[in-house]
Structure 1
C-alpha cells in the first residue's frame, strides 16, 4: 500500500544527460517522422546534414529518470499503472548538442478511493548543465489503477482543457509501426508493459501497448506539421489527456482546431486515445 508522505518525498535520481545530434534524430524517427521520404520539411528533424532541429516533444525524454515507479520502495503496483496526462512548457529551444540536467519530483497524490485508483502528479525541470538556464518543464499525471484507498487527500485535481464545439478544422492520419515501442523504449522508457506480452496480460491488455509518450510524439508531429509549418520555435507548449491505449501498428488520426485544441483517435477501432489537448503557439 502507498505511504503518502514517503511517496510524496520519494528520492527520484537527478539525471545528467549528454545530448548528441544523433539522439535528436533518433527521437524524431522513434515517433514516426521520416515515413514520407518526399516530405523535405521533415529533413531538419531526421538528418544531421540539415540539422538536426529538436522536436519540442523530446523534452519528455531528456533527463528522464527511467521507470522509477517500478522501484518496490514506492509501494505502487507498477504493473497496473498507466500514463494519464502530460504537460510540456518550453522556455528555450532544446539543444541538439550539449548536456542537460533533469530533476524530477512528485508534486501531489490524489486518492480516488478504494477500487478507484489514485493520481500521482510529478514535474521535471530540464536545465542546461553549462549555463543553468531553464529549458523546459514537463508535468505528468500517472493513474495508479490499483492503489486507491490509502487514506490520502481527495484533491486538488488538475482540470482537463476544455474542448471546442463543432468539427475540427484539420484531420491528419499518421501511422504507427508494429515494432515502434521497441524503438521508442531506447529513449529511456523501459517499462515492460510496452514490450512484454506477459506483463501486458497481467495489466489487463491483450498485447503490449504503445508508450503514451510515443503517442504524444506522434500527435506533436501533427501539430508541428499543421499549425507550425514544421517550425519548432512556434510551439511553446502543450498538454493532453490519454484516454485509451494505442496498439503498435495502428493509425493515429489527429483532429486539430486552429485555436490549438486537439484530440486523436485510432482509425482501426474508432477509439479516442488522446483528448482535451491544447497547444500553446508563438
Structure 2
C-alpha cells in the first residue's frame, strides 16, 4: 500500500504502559561504551545510578511502532527496504529515573512529498507521560521513505539546518568502538539483521554489518555527558542530530563539540574514513545552577518539534 494523504496525518498508536529496570538502563549505557571511560561508573553501577538521556530511544519500545488510521480512513505503508532514519530528536521534561513505569503513545505530525522517484519525509512524535498524564519525555523521529514519493502531499521544502560553526571545535572526543558493539547494542531491542549478519549487510550494499544509527546518537550524548556537563544527566534538555552515513563496528568515532553557553553543537566523524556520520547536532542544556532544582521546561519548548 502507498502513502494516503491526508489520511496518514490521523495515524496514531494506542496509549500503553511500559516499564524498564536498572538492568535495562545499565545495558544501554554499556552498549554505547559508558563502561570504558573514567566517569562512566554512575551510569553502569546501581548505587546512585543515572539514566543516559538518549536511552529514551530504546526503553519505550520500537522507534516506529504500529500506527492505526482514524475511523474510515486508509492506512498508509512504506517500501521498508528503502526507508532510512533521517533525523532524531529527544526532549527530556524531568529527570529520568533509572527504573520506572510510564505511558507512551505515537502520532504522525507531518509528511512531505518530495515527488515521484524522490521519496517522502515522514515525521512522528512519541510522548512519554506519567500516570497523571504529565509529560516526561518526547521523541521526534524523521524517516526518509525513498520509495514512496508522488502521493500528492505537500511539497514545501523543509528549512535547511545550519552547518557546524566555522571555528575549530572547542572539544574533540575520540571513542574507539568494539567490533562486537552492534551485537551488544541490538540487545536493547533492535534486532535488525543488518547490524549482525554479514550476508544481509552485503545484500543491501555494505561490506559488513553497520552500527545502529541510534547507537552512534547515544555515543554523541555520552561525549557531552562526560566532557561538557561533568556527568550530570539532568543538565540535558534536548539532543538532536541528522544521520548522514553509517559507522562500522571497530571504527573510531570522533565527536567534535562547539560549546556556547547552554547550547552545544556537534558532529561525529568515522576517523579511519574521514566521513561525517552525524551532522547538524545540537544539545540544549539546563543552566548548571538549576541542576539541583525541579526540572522546568524551557520557554517555548512545550510543543516539541524539529527546529
TM-score (norm 1): 0.90
Measured against aligned partners, the alpha-carbon deviations of 1:109-139 in whole angstroms (never above 9, x if no partner) come to 111122222111011111123x432111111
Q: State yes or no: 1:47 paired with 2:39.
A: no
CA contact (8 A) 2:11 2:67 kept: no
**Partner residue, 1:119:** 121
1:273 Cα deviation from its structure 2 partner: 0.6
- Alpha-carbon distance in 2 for matches of 1:70, 1:134: 21
Give 5+ residue unaligned stretches, structure 1: none
Within the candidate set 268, 271, 279, 2:272 is matched to 268
- The 10-residue stretch of structure 1 (1-10 or 55-64) with the greater mean CA deviation from structure 2: 1-10
**Partner residue, 1:78:** 80
**Partner residue, 2:55:** 58
Measured against aligned partners, the alpha-carbon deviations of 1:128-177 in whole angstroms (never above 9, x if no partner) come to 23x43211111111111222222221136254244211111111111222
1:252 Cα deviation from its structure 2 partner: 0.8
Q: Where do 1:66-215 residues align within 5 Å? A: 67-68=64-65, 74-129=76-131, 131-155=132-156, 157=158, 159-215=160-216
- The 10-residue stretch of structure 1 (185-194 or 131-140) with the greater mean CA deviation from structure 2: 185-194
- Alpha-carbon distance in 2 for matches of 1:6, 1:235: 35
Q: 1:19 to 1:180 in 2, by over 3 A?
A: same
1:26 Cα deviation from its structure 2 partner: 0.9
Q: 3-state DSSP class of the match of 1:258?
A: strand
TM-score (norm 2): 0.83
- Alpha-carbon distance in 2 for matches of 1:176, 1:152: 41
- The 10-residue stretch of structure 1 (175-184 or 58-67) with the greater mean CA deviation from structure 2: 58-67
Measured against aligned partners, the alpha-carbon deviations of 1:194-244 in whole angstroms (never above 9, x if no partner) come to 233444344333322211111100110001111111110111111111111
- Alpha-carbon distance in 1 for matches of 2:104, 2:171: 35
Give 5+ residue unaligned stretches, structure 2: 69-74, 287-307
CA contact (8 A) 1:79 1:202 kept: no
- The 10-residue stretch of structure 1 (61-70 or 171-180) with the greater mean CA deviation from structure 2: 61-70
Root-mean-square deviation over aligned CA pairs: 2.2
1:270 Cα deviation from its structure 2 partner: 0.4
- Alpha-carbon distance in 2 for matches of 1:70, 1:184: 25
Q: 3-state DSSP class of the match of 1:58?
A: helix
User: Runs ≥4 in structure 1, deviation > 4 angstroms?
Assistant: none
Q: 3-state DSSP class of the match of 1:61?
A: helix
CA contact (8 A) 2:163 2:280 kept: yes
- Alpha-carbon distance in 2 for matches of 1:178, 1:280: 32
CA contact (8 A) 1:90 1:137 kept: yes
Pick the structure with greater CA Rg.
2
- Alpha-carbon distance in 2 for matches of 1:89, 1:70: 22
**Partner residue, 1:281:** 285
